A = this chain, B = another copy of it.
Amino acid sequence: MYIIINLKFDLLFFAFLAVTSSIALASDPSSLQDFCVADATSSVLVNGRVCKDPKLVEANDFFFSGLHLAGNTSNAVGSRVTPVSVAQIGGLNTLGISVARIDFAPWGLNPLHTHPRATEILTVLEGSLKVGFVTSNPENRLISKVLQKGDVFVFPVGLVHFQQNVGHGNAVAIVALSSQNPGVIAIANAVFGSNPDIPADILAKAFQVDTNAIYGLQSKF
């Protein structure tokens, strides 16, 4: 659900990723009051967020606007995620859920990634998407399907998955995630685009290629 290639060059895109990595987990701890709206001004950091004074809470603390607007897919993978998580809606803090919109250009791809803290459920609003996830070792079974408008598909927590636009026009999906901050690990970025780089000999042995091939891959992320 996250664009990778232009990560290093597209500031807006960085912004989206920053946001994106604030989404939520099926096993988020339970709420101990009606709500605990994230206090954006606090310097105290806890598991999740500290709360603002409930007397100051207003409707806008539970509100976000703009999910009807298409994201800009002019990037190397032809997709864009617009997240709505605890970073966008402070009222989601302690409530264990978030959503996002994904836009796809024709043949656009939301590359392979995992959410370390959430299951994802996707609904196709427009277009056709080929989606899939891979089970854990040793099976590494690919469970995949082509979805049409109105179809819904589930990606279990922590598993590697992808979505690709296989129609001739644009595609749009809305996804929900079972955490206020699911996080995203884009495989290609985590493996070949980390900062600093993972040593090339480690990647070469892991992927059974020579180090020059690794240098080539790293140069792109």
Contacts and interface: CB of A to CB of B under 8 A. Distances in A.
Interface of A: 1-2, 4-5, 7, 14, 17-18, 20-21, 24-36, 39, 42, 44-48, 50-54, 57-60, 62-69, 76-78, 84, 89, 91-99, 109, 111-114, 116-117, 119, 121, 123-125, 130, 132, 134-145, 147-160, 162, 164, 174, 176-181, 183-199, 202-203, 205-209, 213, 216-217, 220-221
B112 A198 contact: yes
A62 B153 contact: yes
A89 B144 CA distance: 15
A91 to B, nearest CB: 5
A162 B134 CA distance: 20
A24 B154 CA distance: 14
B207 A136 contact: no
Contacts of A198: 112, 132, 134, 142, 162
Nearest to A158: B116
For the complex of A and B, the 10 pairs showing the least CB-CB separation, nearest first, are A116-B158, A26-B96, A68-B150, A176-B176, A17-B138, A5-B138, A111-B206, A29-B29, A45-B51, A208-B220
Nearest to A95: B119
A69 B174 CA distance: 16
A30 B30 CA distance: 10
Contact of A45 (B36, B139, B194): B36
Contacts of A59: 143-145
